[in-house]
Amino acid sequence: MEKIIIFYDDTKTACIRAAEKFGAHENTECRKASEYRDKTLVFAMDAKVGFIFEAENGRVPYVISHIIWRMSADKNREHMLMVTGGRRELKAIRTAEKDMEKRGYHVGSIYTRYILDKYKLTEDESVGLIIEDMITGKTRNEFREKYSGMSRRELMKHFRNELKAYRKFQKSNTQKRKI
């Protein structure tokens, strides 16, 4: 079984809770991102790397960005991003993915709170599935097969409806926090 290293933002409770769930699995090592703030090089060789963070108004937290910029890991493996919430999650994901691509790393799995809530997964189930996906890489192929048979018009309609559902989810969550 492959080794997995998870870097998480230890200032947010949702990230800490997710990291604890990941840490319960074998061959998974969770590291606090704040411990690497002053390091010039971060080594994560012979392992798949995952990042757990909360979006900060469309930006990746500095401690996570610092690790991405300074990381020395296997460039032939696929890595993971998980956003546990925050404002403008999609923009933060895009930023983190671009930063990793600039460094030569490939992001194979991306997860948001919306996706996990959409499929009604508990935290324990979701962590188990994420680890399984990181090891096997099967989800990428399933989605590719699902969308390959669609015409461009059907695909755009599907994505538009998905974006509407995401906006509705975001709106309901912000209203719950205000109450």
The mean per-residue pLDDT over the stretch 7-31 comes to 87
Q: Which residue has the tokens 């080594």?
A: 43
For 70-104, how does the pLDDT look when each residue is reduced to its tens digit (9 = 90+)? Answer: 888 888 888 888 888 888 888 888 998 999 899 88
State the pLDDT at residue 115: 79
pTM of the complete model? 0.82
Helix, coil or strand: residue 149? coil
Q: Kindly report the number of other CB atoms within 10 A of residue 21's CB atom.
A: 21
State the pLDDT at residue 175: 65
Task: Measure the CA–CA gap between 34 and 108, rounded to whole angstroms.
Answer: 24
User: What are the residue boundaries of the structural domains of the chain, listed by start?
Assistant: 4-147, 149-179
State the pLDDT at residue 131: 81
HSE-CB of 162 using CA atoms within 13 angstroms: 9
Cβ(82)–Cβ(18) below 8 Å = yes
Q: What percent of the chain is modeled with pLDDT above 70?
A: 92
For 40-62, how does the pLDDT look when each residue is reduced to its tens digit (9 = 90+)? Answer: 888 888 888 889 999 888 888 88
Question: What's the order of all strands across the beta sheet hosting 78-86?
Answer: 28-32, 4-8, 48-55, 78-86, 106-112
State the pLDDT at residue 22: 87
The class level of CATH for 4-147 reads alpha beta
State the pLDDT at residue 139: 65
- 141 or 127, which is more confident: 127
Cβ(80)–Cβ(107) below 8 Å = yes
Helix, coil or strand: residue 151? coil
